[in-house]
Amino acid sequence: MQDIRHLRIVLIGAGNLATNLGMALTAIGCNIVQVYSRTKASAQTLADRIKDSDTDRICDFTDEISNIRTDADVYIVSIKDSALAELSDEITAINPEALWVHTAGSMPMDIFSTLRRGVFYPMQTFSKSELVTFKDIPVFIEASNEEDSALLHSIANAMSKKVYELDSSQRKHLHLAAVFCCNFVNHCCTMSADVLSNIGVPFDVMLPLIDRTAEKLHTMSPVEAQTGPAVRYDSNVMEAQMGLLSTRPDLQQIYRAMSDSIHRYALKHDAD
């Protein structure tokens, strides 16, 4: 197992994922020598947080691609997918011999054309303001050769108990599943808050229900946990609820599509 503390790492990106990953890498002893962000203040903020966590540490920052260090061992690129697609050739030219790793669930490893390339995808929703512990976060890795795969395993194992190898084509499905479980789940709560605002009830009355909905999934499958009028297609309730949304065709459309889908899955589950 390689000593990951001797690696010089450049972190490209300073957003939610980059910030959480940068701090987690620092916590396991990795040496992040520089942070790049196209927004200078973001690059500086993250570099400062990394330095603050260990006063002996040196961590540079830049907002210019031409100033990214050329002597690192590993470049971890954690920027939004569209920027990754756009910049991958330009940035890898900085040091084509190094290991280039991105953190995007939906992007293939081969977005990098370097010989040594990989993916390090911690599947979680992050925010800069609340750092999360990586211990229980599943990390999905992929690398273009065995040695780099072992290296990414060493890093991932040092921060998480749940490390999986998954190739790019499988990871696409994983990322899509995460969109349903996180982005769409959150959006259901956005729509709920919107409905609640009509009666002046604060959204936090919903929190015990949301917590319990999540908690139930630790002991039963989602299709088993499903409740509500759509399961048995209680059309009285459903029509009344559609009526409450009569001024909101956007929410009506989603209500109808979700209810129909819940009912189809319930029928299929009963038949199985």
Q: Which of residues 37-56 bind its own copies (CB under 8 A)?
A: none
Q: How far apart, in whole angstroms, are the C-alpha atoms of residue 155 and residue 119?
A: 12
Alpha carbon 238 to its chain's center = 34
d(CA 250, CA 226): 23
191 Cβ neighbours under 8 A, 6+ residues apart: 251, 254
Least Å distance, CB 102 to its own copies, is 13
**Between residue 148 and residue 167, which ones bind its own copies under the rule CB under 8 A?**
162, 164, 166
81 binds its own copies (CB under 8 A): yes
Q: Residue 186, interface with its own copies (CB under 8 A)?
A: yes
Q: How far apart are CA 238 and CA 263, in angstroms?
A: 12
Query: Quick one: which of 110, 173, 239, 267 contacts its own copies (CB under 8 A)?
Result: 173
Binds its own copies (CB under 8 A): choice among 26, 112, 138, 156? 138
6 binds its own copies (CB under 8 A): no
Give 50 or 262: the residue with its C-beta nearer to its own copies.
Answer: 262
- Judged by CB under 8 A, does residue 131 bind its own copies? no
Site for its own copies in 90-129 (CB under 8 A): 106, 123-125, 127
Subset of residues 217 to 256 that bind its own copies, contact rule: CB under 8 A = 217-223, 225-230, 232, 234, 236-237, 240-241, 244-245, 250-251, 253-255
Residues 200-219 that bind its own copies (CB under 8 A): 201, 203-214, 216-219
- Applying CB under 8 A, the site for its own copies has a residue count of 92
55 Rama class: left (phi>0) / alpha (psi -120 to 50) / beta: alpha
| Shortest reach from residue 161's CB to its own copies, in Å | 11
- Those residues with Cβ within 8 angstroms of residue 114's Cβ, 6 or more apart along the chain or in another chain: 92, 96, 97, 98, 100
Q: Which is nearer to its own copies, 99 or 119 (CB)?
A: 119
Among 27, 87, 131, 193, binds its own copies (CB under 8 A): 193
- 179 contributes a contact to its own copies by CB under 8 A: yes
Distance CA 148, CA 153 (A): 8
- What are the residues whose beta carbons fall under 8 Å from the beta carbon of 18, sequence distance 6 or more? 11, 12, 35, 37, 46, 76, 78, 79, 103
Who's near 73: CB < 8 A, 6+ residues apart? 7, 8, 9, 98, 99
